[in-house]
Chains A and B, each alone.
Chain A
Amino acid sequence: MKHLFAAACLLVLANANAQELAERIPKSATMVMTVNPGPHVSNGDIASIAKLKMFTGGTYMYDDSVMEPARKVVTDIFSNAAETGVDQTRKIFLFYDVTDSISGWTYLVPLANVGTFKTYLTTKLFSEAPAIESGFGFEYVHKQKLDIAFTSGFAMIMLADYNHWYYNSDLNYAVTAMAEPVYDLDTTAAEPALADDSTQQARIREMEAELTKMNALEGDSLRAFVERQQEVQLSPYELAEQKQEQEREQKMAFRSRERLRYYMALLPADAITANRNFRTIQAEPFEAAFWYNYGEQINRERNRQYDMFRYNNMIDTAQQEKRLWDDSYFVALARFQGNEMVVTQHLYLSPKTTLETKGMYHGKVKKKMFRYVKAPNLMGYAALSMNSEKLMKFSGTAYRDAMSYYNSMTQGLVFTSWDIARVFVDDDVLYNLFSGDMLFAVTDLRPFTASYVTYDYDENFNRTEVRQERTEIMPEFVGVVSIGKTKEAQEILSIIEKARGIRKEGTDYYAINMPGTYEFKTYIALHKGLLIITNNEELMKDKLKKGYNGNEGMSRKQVKAARRSPLMAYWDSNKSLELMEKQYGEKMSKREKQLLADMRANVNNAYLAGTRPQNGVQTAILHVNLNDSKENGLIRFFKIMDMMYRF
């Protein structure tokens, strides 16, 4: 009991510490990754993961002189506590934040020993010792694109650059960009304005003072620069180009320093910890977590387009869309238990979407739909059960209203068709034509003969187009949709047949007339309240009445598993990889063969099970089962990711 109490206290303390550290993350951050290295530090897992190619190599936006210290610091944070002074028993955060002028990834790292960290910065990280500045309650290093600020308890390491929109904007822009104007998309507001907040105004004044200093600095250093360059006799064009480049670098350094200072002095109300959902997920058990604030992301895009909205009198549209996405987040929490990786995903819906989509999920996909899935080579499937009336109303009203302005031509056609359909067919038929159950399965990989065009040349090299044949591999699939109004669906098929969209092949199924040169046929049939689409001719010819039974069909156990929730997806990696090896064989390159072998050695299968939304949160759990191995799940998961990355 005493131990339990102590463990509980430790857990509370650990969360409190993490919470305190997370107070440095702005609530505007669109992505936050949290790593809880604690359980994997002492056994060396973290150290071996940090050495993987995906963390240490690869193509980056910067050259090696910039990336070398950036890679080193990331590797060292996770693998070398003694040298860096990082506290690896606490959570480490990585967040992405974007202002109007710059965007950057920032590591937020707890420190166990600031002296060690300082020594690391000055003697190990860079080839030349950087100058450490201090002020505003923290110490600071700026070197190339890296900005590092630290106190006795934590460090922030930022790699930032311009947003390309303001690539060439002048230094004066920094003042408003750093103050991050948040436009209120209220229809009654005549003009967008900066929030009238005294703290923010004080910050603007502070930055304006800094700007004056920067302008002076800029003048001085540029004068020295020009004098230096004149000595090496550069052309006026080269001189102007280099001067511009140096100005850009200085402006960038100024902006990133200001942003980092903003994080270091973040007000509690501006921190991500003010977000209840963020606090909730941070309290859940996980080893790695991903937070994506897509409401904020969309909102930023809209803010950028404010003038366009106003000009086109589209403020209402923007307002509707804003309400649809406001306060919407996607969260994934990963845990590794033996040979299994479990990723719990939460989708936080906005209040408007929660209201619009209430009751949209049914229960389970109809059992009879699984009869049409051929099982011996089943690679994977997705099954979804929804209330089609609610889904269509949501798609046809709320979503359409908000999105109409952005719709591509294709989507526009869909919505127009929807409107036309409502003229001819009553709402009941339209909403219930499909009854909401959908199943899509990939049941095999099979060869087929495809044709292609190439050229023959006569003796004077005049070309002639010739068509030749080759064997390709195609996935065999089946899609099954439940029909609510069979009679009407049959009538619609008859209309499509008259319009030559489909043609009768057997007594009770059609072949779809695909435009273009397709060498494989796709079939469609309406049978016992189900609409079946497949490229498996055998299913249409011989199995339409009863489906697949016995060894050919899915077992009871498999069907039961597939009907666990209204949203299921399954992937049998062993079967998929085995089929690929069989079908592609010697056609594979050495690299492809190696990847296939590595994948087969590690991954067994994966499935995703979702739930209906509760209190505005929809949860789906992804299970990835790995093959038995001496290495633990965390290391193997990252090794698989690394394989994919290297491929």
Chain B
Amino acid sequence: MPQNTLHTVSRKLLYLLLPCVLFLCTGCFEILEDITIKANGTGTFYYTVNMSQSKAKLKSVMALDSVDGYRIPKRPDIEKDLEKAKKTLQGVKGISNVQLTSNFDDFIFSLKYDFTSVATLNESLQALAQAFSDEKQRIPGADNNFSLTSKLFERKSNYNAKKESTKLRAKDAEILSKATYTSVYHFEKTITKCSNKDAKLSPNKKNVMVKVNLLQLVKGEKQIANRIELN
């Protein structure tokens, strides 16, 4: 069918030309996890995925159905998923002020909400994982990522780097090598000790930051897990 032929021809040309243009533009992206914890255990969770440095590539890629065997979600799909995430979080007791922002010009997606306790924060992340898991794929490592006692805040990692990193394809590794994961935690109490070697303390000792390369994180060479001892 000519409709189909048109489609076939344009796809053909696109597939002929796009790899040439795109395969070298392996993009960079940043993931940022920022948590503020007050003395009474309540706090604010902020999470953002910033793909701004890859936006030129993403704008081209979003015209396709899939790239490298990965399905490319369309803008309505992404918006639908963000709305689903918002509704899921709003349904978790102890979670409030859920704010979702999506910027399709720069490809930055952020999530921010308040929680009444670290246990509630864990529940909210578990609820998200459950909402986006299906029969075929269960989102791993979302159970009890954080814990807080009066003198200890712990960022755990349930990710099995040894097992997962063997599945990593070379071209995916290349993309991850240009990406970073940053975790920032703010406290009202002062920090006395951190277990993560890459952690940086602020001069007032109330804030800690860990910034790692995502490939090293996936391979288990670096960690985001951190035991933060508080005064």
Contact = CB atoms under 8 A, between A and B. Distances in A.
Contact of B13 (A328, A440, A618, A620): A440
Contacts of A571: 13, 16-17
Interface stretch (B1-9, B92-100, B140-148): B1-9
B2 A360 contact: yes
A625 B19 CA distance: 19
Contact of B32 (A357, A399, A463, A587): A463
A384 B136 CA distance: 42
A384 B8 CA distance: 12
Contacts of A450: 55-56
A445 B24 CA distance: 12
Interface in B119-176: 135-136, 167, 169-171, 174
B168 to A, nearest CB: 10
B25 interface: yes
Nearest to A595: B23
Contact of B76 (A409, A608, A620): A409
Interface string A296-322: 000000000000000000000000000
A361 B158 CA distance: 59
Contacts of B114: none
A588 B2 contact: no
A349 B106 contact: no
Contact of B9 (A567, A580, A591, A592): A567
- Dominant SS among interface residues on chain B: mixed
B194 to A, nearest CB: 13
B17 A442 contact: yes
B204 to A, nearest CB: 7
Given A571-B13, A647-B171, A463 B184 contact: yes
B5 A610 contact: yes
Contacts of A399: 3
Interface residues of A, number: 65
B209 interface: yes
Contacts of B4: 347
Nearest to A164: B136
Given A380-B13, A618-B5, A167 B21 contact: no
B66 interface: no
B16 A361 contact: no
A453 B24 contact: no
Nearest to A580: B20
B65 to A, nearest CB: 12
A445 B207 CA distance: 46
A583 to B, nearest CB: 8
B226 interface: no
Contacts of A386: 2
A167 B135 contact: yes
A475 B21 contact: yes
Given A452-B52, A459-B202, A647 B23 contact: yes
Interface string A332-372: 00000000000000010100010001001100000000000
A461 interface: yes
A280 interface: no
B206 interface: yes
Contacts of B20: 379, 576-577, 580
A584 interface: yes
B76 A408 contact: yes
A377 interface: no
Interface in A503-540: 515-517
A228 interface: no
A460 B186 contact: yes
Interface stretch (A233-241, A426-434, A466-474, A482-490): A466-474
Contacts of A263: none
A347 B1 contact: yes
A353 B34 contact: no
Contacts of A440: 10, 13
Contacts of B135: 164, 167
Given A382-B13, A472-B25, A453 B52 contact: yes
A608 B12 contact: yes
Interface in B46-69: 50, 52-53, 55-56
Contacts of A5: none
A567 B5 contact: yes
A452 B106 CA distance: 7
Interface in B26-42: 26, 30, 32, 34
A589 B170 CA distance: 12
B72 interface: no
B12 A473 contact: no
Nearest to B21: A475
Interface in A489-504: none
Contacts of B104: 516
Contact of B16 (A380, A470, A587, A588): A380
A59 B170 CA distance: 12
B17 A353 contact: no
B153 to A, nearest CB: 15
A394 interface: yes
B50 A453 contact: yes
Contacts of B56: 450, 472, 474
Nearest to B209: A461
Given A459-B203, A517-B105, A591 B2 contact: no
Given A360-B2, A454-B52, A569 B13 contact: yes
Contacts of B24: 473, 580, 584, 587-588, 592
A395 interface: yes
A222 interface: no
Interface string A574-587: 00110010001001
Contacts of A470: 53
B108 interface: yes
Contact of A461 (B3, B16, B186): B186
Nearest to A516: B105
A460 B52 contact: no
A638 B170 CA distance: 21
Contacts of A459: 202-204
B171 A461 contact: no
Nearest to A515: B105
Contact of B3 (A395, A452, A463): A395
Nearest to A470: B53
Interface in A265-279: none
A455 interface: yes
A606 interface: yes
Interface string B191-217: 000000000101110111100000000
Contacts of B136: 164
Interface string A439-461: 01010010000101111010111
Contacts of B13: 380-382, 440, 569, 571
Contacts of B10: 382, 440
B76 A445 contact: no
Given A454-B50, A610-B9, 19 more contacts: A379-B20, A380-B13, A380-B17, A382-B9, A382-B10, A394-B2, A399-B3, A440-B13, A461-B202, A461-B208, A463-B32, A472-B56, A517-B105, A517-B106, A567-B9, A580-B21, A610-B5, A618-B2, A647-B23
11 contacts: A164-B136, A349-B1, A357-B2, A380-B13, A391-B3, A453-B52, A459-B202, A472-B56, A475-B21, A587-B24, A610-B9
Closest 8 CB pairs of A and B: A516-B105, A452-B52, A453-B52, A382-B13, A452-B53, A461-B207, A571-B16, A461-B209
Interface of A: 59, 164, 167, 324, 328, 347, 349, 353, 357, 360-361, 379-382, 384, 386, 391, 394-395, 399, 408-409, 440, 442, 445, 450, 452-455, 457, 459-461, 463, 470, 472-475, 515-517, 567, 569, 571, 576-577, 580, 584, 587-589, 591-592, 595, 606, 608, 610, 613, 618, 620, 644, 647
